[in-house]
Amino acid sequence: MTNTTSEPIIARLKTKAERIAAADPQKVAEIEARLENVRPLAERIDKRALLKAGRLDQFDGPNRRSGKKAH
């Protein structure tokens, strides 16, 4: 079962993305590079959110302190 309300939105985004890609391939490369830079940050934010919610036992980030509970 698919979500029919999001299908028109997805179709519009796909056609818009195709038009941008056809018009300016350099712009697409810049956007993809930015996304690669953002991905690690998003993963760290997800880990911190899970840790604060008490769903992650340990945090492997740069500020990890053994034996102390993160607040």
Task: Give the closest residue to 28 by CA, choosing from 18, 14, 37, 38.
Answer: 18
Task: Quote the pTM value.
Answer: 0.34
pLDDT bin (cut points 50, 70, 90) of residue 66 is: low
pLDDT digits (tens, 9 = 90+) for 8-62: 888 888 888 888 888 888 888 888 888 888 778 878 887 777 777 776 555 555 5
Q: Distance (Å, rounded) from C-alpha 11 to C-alpha 8?
A: 5
Q: Where are the domains of the chain?
A: 25-54
